[in-house]
Amino acid sequence: MLQPIASLLTMGSGMNLLYLLIVVPLLLSLLCLILPRTQETLKGLLFLLSIFFNLVLSLGLFVAQDTTVLIPWAGFGMNLAIRVYAFSRFAILAAGCAFFLVGLYSLCFIKGKSYQGGFICFYLLLMSFANGVFLANNLVMLLFFWEAIMLVVFGMLLLIKRPKPRTAVKAIILNAIADFLLLLGIAITYSLSGSLMMDVISGLPVEGAGVVGFLCMMLGAVGKAGAVPFHSWIPDAADDAPLPFMAILPGVLEKLLGIYLLFRVCVDFYALQPGSVMSQLVMWIGALTLFFGIAMALIQNDIKRMLAFSAVGQVGYMVLGIGTALPVGIVGAVFHMLNHAMYKSSLFLAAGAVEKATGTTDLRKIGGLGRRMPITGCSFLLAGFAFVGFPGFNAFFSKDLIFDAALQTNVIFYIIALLGVFGTAASFLKVMHAAFFGPLRLPQGIQREEVREVPLCMLLPMFILAAGCLLFGLFNRLPLGVIQPLLGERLAGVEYAGWPHSMLLVLISIVCLLLAVGNHILAYRYTGSALKSVDHFRYIPGVRQLYDAAEKHYLDPYNLFLSLVKIYALVCSCFDRMINWIYDVLLVKMVSFLATNFHDFSDGSTNRYLVWTFSGLGFLAVLFLLLI
């Protein structure tokens, strides 16, 4: 059934229909922008049509053969070049499914909200630009769409009106730094390889200028993915942005984009060697992100914030996996990217359902919702099993591959990864327990009867995604069959699908999970509150101070950066004031002093003038005598 669409898409060599993936959402978005505010229903229909169209096209593209299209554009190697190959097919399909499901959900979620029109417009723009990134075969074209996504993020964060758009500014500054590094990296890569075509650049050595080029491009990629130190706007966005934004961007798209580019940089453009310094560096970035994100997720008392921090943490796994530069790690990372997109968007959507029903996601105000919202709870639990890496679910397999790679490189990364498993499980158990089990607690002013299950169009996407987690776990041959060919010959014919090879690793992971469960049960017994189940970690001397500092944003790299900026601004302002003072005060005083004195001196006395004249003559005479 899809084959006709596929052949239609890749037909011809010059102007074929691949551009539809970019152009149609873009045009529809602009149409939504110019439609009047009263036409919300029409906009909704257009939106639905667009995401469905996108899904069909991406499905069609998935079965299409490899194609490259090149339209000369600005010269200097900057062309509108499109390439359809394994990874772009895979990524566009993954993104297309996510766009469709989250779009369906958000159509119900945003109904009647003030930002409805803007959200639809930005969502379609995002879809167009994301497809652009995945299709781009030219680094400049890639950069264009990359930056455009940054602007869409900025716009989405401004949708909910705040007196001061701090989060949006923070997001754009952090993203802009990362994107600037990417631009720098692209320039260096271009000078090294002599081409901007992404299928031409390959296997550049990571040495000399290549180190800088690799580093810049790598930081640009992980910056978009939201790794340390570019992460800190994501938890803030959880408070400030519409919830579907969290599900689609930090949940799905940023990981897809970031890991896609990181994969291209580490595997295609540069020949990253396992165990090299750069590889270690990428792994350390991953490990730090992992540790920091999960440690912060552990202490959150708000579902959205917990999910946002854990979204940061999970990126750590993917960066760690690719950083190993081992086939097993890379396959694991890409697989984890897919899994994370599924379970994290499902979890975010469930959190959105809770917010829709009760008006908040703060666990200090709500609790025991499981009976009132059984399907949401069920889907949250299902996705949560994937989230913690429960055996049989998809993330279990992907994490296992990453663990394998980490252990092959250095045992320290493995230990950090295991700590991550424990932390993830503990934080999930805490949130799950507090939100859905136990006696019902509701915020003031909301009656028990008002809290009911959300409509089907919201339930369906989250449930499909959660069920997909189980499906991709039980039949992991399905996704891995697509992912493994990405590596081509490097794979050397090894098969990662099926049950993990090493029973030991599985056992250790299971022990970690059991430890988390045990910790939860004991702590719940002891404190009597699910929310306090991890407080004994929170208040360990030493750790406590670190947590306090982190809570106050002292450890936020953005704030450190801002304080540097402030110091710089102070220096500049002092300098500026000094210059101003010279112009406004010193010069004026000097001139008026001179002028007044001169004025007083020329008092109109002829004698005095004569004295001047003769002293002038004397001066001239002396000059003549001296210089002759």
Contacting positions for another protein (CB under 8 A): 591-592, 594-596, 598-599, 602, 604, 606, 608-610, 612-613, 615-617, 619-621, 623-624, 627-628
Closer residue to another protein, CB minimum distance, 568 or 583: 583
Non-local CB neighbours of 349 within 8 Å, separated by 6+ positions: 102, 105, 243, 244, 247, 458, 461, 462, 465
Compute the least distance from the CB of residue 579 to another protein, in Å. Answer: 15
Compute the least distance from the CB of residue 162 to another protein, in Å. Answer: 45
CA distance 531 to 524: 8
Compute the least distance from the CB of residue 598 to another protein, in Å. Answer: 5
CA nearest neighbour of 186 among 218, 156, 154, 150 = 218
Residue 304 tokens read as 């959205």
Residue 319 tokens read as 């960066």
DSSP-derived secondary structure letter, 495: -
> Is the N-terminal amide bond of 229 cis, ω within 30° of 0?
yes
Compute the least distance from the CB of residue 625 to another protein, in Å. Answer: 9
Residue 150 tokens read as 């940054």
For residues 401, 405, 408, 410, the Cα torsion angle rounded to the nearest 10 degrees is -120
Closer residue to another protein, CB minimum distance, 13 or 615: 615
Compute the least distance from the CB of residue 611 to another protein, in Å. Answer: 9
Compute the least distance from the CB of residue 574 to another protein, in Å. Answer: 25
Compute the least distance from the CB of residue 605 to another protein, in Å. Answer: 9
CA distances from 161 to 45, 151, 240, 348, 359 (A): 25, 17, 9, 22, 18
Compute the least distance from the CB of residue 589 to another protein, in Å. Answer: 12
Compute the least distance from the CB of residue 583 to another protein, in Å. Answer: 10
Compute the least distance from the CB of residue 588 to another protein, in Å. Answer: 9
How many angstroms separate the first and last alpha carbons of the chain?
Answer: 106
Compute the least distance from the CB of residue 600 to another protein, in Å. Answer: 9
Closer residue to another protein, CB minimum distance, 449 or 600: 600
User: Residue ranges of the alpha helices (H) in 76-208?
Assistant: 86-109, 116-135, 139-157, 166-193
Closer residue to another protein, CB minimum distance, 456 or 594: 594
∠ CA 224-226-229, nearest 5°, is: 110
Closer residue to another protein, CB minimum distance, 494 or 617: 617
Closer residue to another protein, CB minimum distance, 7 or 596: 596
Compute the least distance from the CB of residue 604 to another protein, in Å. Answer: 6
Contact between residue 222 and residue 258 where contact means Cβ atoms under 8 Å apart: yes
Residue 172 tokens read as 């754009």
Closer residue to another protein, CB minimum distance, 485 or 616: 616
Closer residue to another protein, CB minimum distance, 71 or 621: 621
CA distance 382 to 197: 42
Closer residue to another protein, CB minimum distance, 522 or 621: 621
Closer residue to another protein, CB minimum distance, 114 or 615: 615
CA distance 272 to 216: 14
Contact between residue 473 and residue 397 where contact means Cβ atoms under 8 Å apart: yes
CA distances from 626 to 249, 616, 619, 622 (A): 83, 15, 10, 6
Closer residue to another protein, CB minimum distance, 445 or 604: 604
CA nearest neighbour of 378 among 252, 473, 440, 464 = 464
Closer residue to another protein, CB minimum distance, 447 or 606: 606
Judged by phi (left if over 0) then psi (alpha if -120 to 50, else beta), residue 63 lies in alpha
Task: Label residues 489-522 b or e (16+ Cβ within 10 Å = b).
Answer: eebeeeebbeebeeeebbebbeebbeebeebbee
Residue 173 tokens read as 């500054």
Closer residue to another protein, CB minimum distance, 578 or 621: 621
Compute the least distance from the CB of residue 628 to another protein, in Å. Answer: 6
